[in-house]
């Protein structure tokens, strides 16, 4: 009887004081939601989405490339010299990074899984591991291609005040000062001389 089954389930789930079954069920459901696990699956949750399978495949290829280029060389390499890894695995890493960025973009628009928000935790953790290996462990970094435009724009902005003050100085009208000579009062001695002439 359906009416009795609910009471039966309730009595089984809440039979102990801790309600361990309910607590575990809530914990696993919350973990599933927090980790965005549904975002790695197809809409009907029948299996991994095509994009997740493609990402995990490329992730495994990247790790295999890292391992292959480190075999037999780790003894001879200094901790900061992994040029072979950087050179030989650059293309695989770039493809993985581009795919991850595309998945993020698609997921914001509600990609294959039909859920928007973050990617599932498996994909995010895999990318974090790869980026940490690439940048921190192997110290593989590509020089930024935007350096020249940034320096040019910064120099232009720093040069603007000089241009402003120079142009304002050159284009302002300089007023010429006209010196007015004061009329000098004749000294008392010259007045005495004049009076003596007329007397």
> Given this model, what pLDDT does residue 157 score?
92
Question: Residue 22's CB: how many other CB atoms inside 10 A?
Answer: 13
> Given this model, what pLDDT does residue 166 score?
84
d(CA 160, CA 157): 5
Full-model pTM: 0.60
Residue tagged 């935007």 (tokens): 146
Residue 133 and residue 52 in contact, taking contact as beta carbons nearer than 8 Å? no
> Given this model, what pLDDT does residue 123 score?
95
Render pLDDT for 82-105 as a digit per residue (tens, 0 to 9).
888 899 999 999 999 999 999 998
Alpha-helical runs (H) found in the chain? 2-13, 20-34, 50-70, 83-88, 90-108, 121-132, 147-171, 188-198
Angle value at C-alpha 45, between 39 and 50, nearest 5 degrees: 60
> Given this model, what pLDDT does residue 31 score?
94
d(CA 100, CA 58): 10
> Given this model, what pLDDT does residue 32 score?
92
3-state SS track over 31-55: HHHHCCHHHHECCCCCCECHHHHHH
Six token digits for residue 117? 């928000």
Low-confidence stretches of the chain (pLDDT < 70) are 1-6, 72-81, 110-117, 142-146, 173-179, 181-199
d(CA 102, CA 120): 14
Contact partners, residue 89, CB within 8 Å, separation at least 6: 62, 65, 66, 69, 140
- Segment holding 122, helix H or strand E: helix 121-132
Distance of CA 124 to the CA centre of its chain: 16
d(CA 176, CA 171): 15
């Amino acid at each position: 009887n359906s009416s009795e089954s609910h009471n039966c389930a309730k009595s089984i789930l809440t039979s102990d004081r801790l309600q361990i079954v309910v607590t575990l069920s809530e914990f696993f459901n919350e973990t599933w939601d927090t980790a965005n696990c549904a975002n790695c699956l197809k809409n009907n949750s029948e299996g991994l989405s095509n994009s997740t399978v493609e990402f995990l495949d490329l992730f495994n290829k990247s790790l295999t490339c890292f391992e292959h280029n480190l075999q037999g060389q780790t003894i001879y390499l200094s901790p900061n010299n992994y040029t072979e890894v950087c050179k030989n695995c650059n293309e695989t890493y770039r493809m993985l990074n581009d795919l991850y960025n595309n998945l993020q973009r698609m997921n914001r628009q509600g990609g294959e899984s039909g859920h928007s928000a973050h990617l599932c935790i498996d994909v995010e953790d895999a990318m974090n591991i790869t980026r940490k290996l690439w940048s921190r462990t192997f110290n593989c970094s590509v020089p930024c291609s935007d350096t020249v435009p940034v320096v040019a724009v910064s120099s232009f902005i720093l040069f603007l005040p000089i241009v402003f003050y120079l142009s304002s100085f050159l284009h302002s009208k300089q007023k010429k000062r006209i010196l007015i000579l004061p009329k000098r009062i004749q000294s008392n001695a010259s007045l005495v001389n004049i009076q003596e002439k007329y007397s």
